[in-house]
Amino acid sequence: MSDTDLQDQQPTPPSGEKLQKVLARIGVGSRRDVEAWISQGRIKVNGVEATLGLRVDLHDAITVDGKLIKRVEAAEATRRVIMYNKPDGEICTRDDPEGRPTVFDRLPRPKEGRWINIGRLDINTTGLLLFTTDGELANRLMHPSYEMDREYAVRVRGEVDDDMVDRLKAGVMLEDGPAKFTDIQKAPGGEGFNHWYHCVVMEGRNREVRRLWESQGVVVSRLKRVRFGPVFLNSDLPMGRWREMSQGEIDILAAEVGLQPVALPEMKLKAKDKLERLQRKSSRPLGRGERVRTLRPAGEGQSERPARAPREDAAPRKGGRGSTVAERPSEMRKRPARPDGDKPTGRGRGREKPRG
């Protein structure tokens, strides 16, 4: 058999790119979102209902819920990232049939693409949420294979002993499979049967932190996410406010999941001034009329809240606001040197203390 015959028998590589990857890259949604929409029959390609694994190219017309998606294919995705300090009472969805406030209500509208939430927090959980216009970045940060650790400040009600902590770190069986904390540290604050802990999980399963503690017979009375991977929530970002991350911070975050740096899109002076005004407004605490309804466990009264412990690092800061994104320890991963202007602060610096 000739070489030509052998070449003729080689399978032809599939043309185009997977539909969910295309829509994620241009910011329509994360890959996980798009796969769910395909299964629900919400996406059509050239008028035909799409299927999982379908490949498309520039000549294909893609619609989501009947709306044609405009595609301007670029060599690089637009990659913007904002961090948001979520209050309780908000839900992680764009539209709610019950009319409840959502985490998207306060965010600025991006000129290109739309904000994709990187993971979710339930309605009663507060703290750090990340949003990006880059679907591939969102997908990698949420995918279990990249093992992005999530750290929570949690107040539990009940007796917690060393054996319970050891069980939670070794792993317990939940209804959806085994789960565990990779780290648990007791934190200052709390009194009586109320105790504060910082705990870390490697997955983003639904209500995982609450269910882990409740499996040991204690009740979670407050829960706040204070870190996602290398990104820390600190006191510079009041509850209910957002901040756009800098080029250096985004590059560190992208490097965590093996993505090359992408330059932030250039902005016209008018658009830049508008964004800066929005950010200055978002750096202020919420006004009285802006506050959402606070949800608390039944039977928990205001009198049970002890006074907030004084900060150990209460000395006035020098200079401007520090970075909230930290490099990983050198023994875990090596990073190329960065210019001094993009050098982040130390890993735990500026973290907001839990309220006792």
What gap in Å lies between CA 336 and CA 344, rounded to an integer? 13
Neighbours of 42 (CB within 10 A): 15
Residue 196 near residue 189 (C-beta atoms within 8 A): yes
Strands 231-232, 242-244: pairing is unpaired
∠ Cα 318 321 326 (to 5°)? 110
Query: Is there a catalytic annotation at residue 149?
Result: no
Residue 242 near residue 169 (C-beta atoms within 8 A): no
What gap in Å lies between CA 55 and CA 18, rounded to an integer? 4
What gap in Å lies between CA 61 and CA 150, rounded to an integer? 38
User: 122, 166, 176, 273: which is the annotated catalytic residue?
Assistant: 122
Buried b (16+ CB within 10 A) or exposed e, 312-327: eeeeeeeeeeebbbbb
What gap in Å lies between CA 292 and CA 190, rounded to an integer? 25
Residue 18 near residue 54 (C-beta atoms within 8 A): yes
Residue 94 near residue 104 (C-beta atoms within 8 A): yes
91 three-state secondary structure: strand
What gap in Å lies between CA 182 and CA 154, rounded to an integer? 15
50 burial level (CB within 10 Å; 0-12, 13-18, 19+): buried
What gap in Å lies between CA 112 and CA 72, rounded to an integer? 10
Structure tokens at 120: 């979710």
DSSP letter, residue 232: E
Q: What are phi and psi of 81, to 5 degrees?
A: -140, 135
The catalytic residues are 122
